[in-house]
Every structure is written in C-alpha cells, then in structure tokens.
Structure 1
Amino acid sequence: MNDNSRRDIGGHQTSVGLRAGMLPGVRVTIEEAAALQSYPADFKFAGTKGSIGLQIGNAVPPLLAKAILEELWS
C-alpha cells in the first residue's frame, strides 16, 4: 500500500497515520506469527489467509499448553 497511510497497533488503517500515544505496528508473515506462537515449522493450518491468522492469534501457544498440562499432571 503506497497511499501514505499506516496501521495503528490495533490494525485499524487511518489516512492521518498514528494518533498521539500509539506505537507503529509491525507486520509479520503467517509463518513468523506461527513461529512466535511456538508452532512447528511444518504445522499445517486450514482455511484462508485471514482465518489462519485468526487461528494463530487466538490459539494458546503449544509450548505454553504443554507446560500447563505437565504441571497439572505432575
């Protein structure tokens, strides 16, 4: 996008850029987001790019889930 607009931290596009007190957002790829959530590199997600982003963003990271379950089972 080359219309001089930016996305704020919540992902809302605005033609005036960032409002006072907002930080610039950082875009990551689906693969980078999955890696940040501790998914294995070969994990297969299903759906559109948007729904995959929601799956990753709304998921409990697998390593966190594992740590919680291990604590509960010990």
Structure 2
Amino acid sequence: MSAARLCARNRPAYLSDTAAADVLALLGRRIGETLDNGLAARRYGISGDRRALSGVPCHRTWTVCH
C-alpha cells in the first residue's frame, strides 16, 4: 500500500485537515516525516491529483515521485 493511500485510509476524506492532523502527526513521527508532507500525501491519496505533492521531495518516505 502506498503511503498516500495509507494516509487517506487512516484519515478519510470526510475529515478536515485539522481533524486528520493528530493521527498523521503520530504516523509521521514513526516514519520520520513532517505533518505537512503527510497532509500532502493524504490529499494526493484522496484526489489522485499529483499537484497535491507540489513541493514535496520525491525521496520522502510516504510520497510518490511525480
């Protein structure tokens, strides 16, 4: 499972970014990622729009190279 799907699955689309941030922050700490990158990966997982990953380096743990 891709990290973006993992983020979307753990914090579904009906939750706001603010509501999703608590779990994504914990997940990010475990894998050495920032909350901002986790939220970007979540938006990508929900929308499939690679523009959500704009500014996120390709080498990051939970993103997909774009």
Q: Same fold (TM over 0.5)?
A: no
Higher relative helix content: 2
| TM-score with structure 1 setting the length | 0.23
TM-score (normalizing by structure 2): 0.25
Q: Which has the higher contact order (CA 8 A, sep 6+)?
A: 2
Q: Which has the larger radius of gyration?
A: 1
Question: Greater strand percent: which structure?
Answer: 1
